[in-house]
Amino acid sequence: MATTRVTQRIHAPRPRVYAALLDAEAVRHWMVPDGMTSEVHDFDAAEGGTFRITLTYEAPTTSGKTTRQSDTIRGRFTKLVTDTEVGQVVEFETDDPELQGESRISYRLSDAESDAVTDLVAVHEDVPPGVSAADNKLGWTISIAKLARLVEAAERPDADRHLTSEE
């Protein structure tokens, strides 16, 4: 099983980044690669709480993991350390044995240059063998960059609060 690791320096304080990891509306905007839309069905941001999210391809495709057009994941929060760490266990809703099984995702936050700048490390472990390592890395890189833009924009009073899936 593969592991994907993405790091990002974010020009926003840790509490703001942490909040965006646990806010369903924020997650709907940032945790979606380009060319897809996101729907958050359930989201209980508490240790032991569960979530279910569907990502839908905007263009016709046959590469969806749950249906031809979509990837649905379900998971639970395994660890929440305020302003420091979020741990999750996730799995695709799929009949494909190459895509089945639980993965672990962790987000670790630390102060960078000051308490107004955050270093984020996202690690996706036990990625199913049916998921291309290159595609997984690209999807995570895009999503974490969207997270950074979302929370950095929140630092500016005139900025939009959420990103569209095209951004």
pLDDT band at 163 (very low <50, low <70, confident <90, very high): very low
> Would you say the pTM of this structure is higher than 0.85?
yes
For the ranges 2-16, 73-87, 144-158, the lowest mean pLDDT is seen at: 144-158
DSSP letters, 123-151, are EEEEE-TTS-HHHHHHHHHHHHHHHHHHH
Looking at residue 159, what is its pLDDT?
A: 46
Condensed to tens digits (0 to 9), the pLDDT of residues 21-69 reads 999 999 999 999 888 999 999 999 999 999 999 999 888 777 788 888 8
Q: Which domains does the chain have, with CATH numbers?
A: 2-154 (3.30.530.20)
Condensed to tens digits (0 to 9), the pLDDT of residues 83-104 reads 999 999 999 999 999 999 999 9
CA–CA separation, 111 vs 120, rounded Å? 9
Looking at residue 167, what is its pLDDT?
A: 37
Looking at residue 157, what is its pLDDT?
A: 57
Mean pLDDT along residues 137-142: 94
Q: Which of 24, 47, 35, 45 is nearest to 71 (CA)?
A: 35
CA–CA separation, 32 vs 34, rounded Å? 7
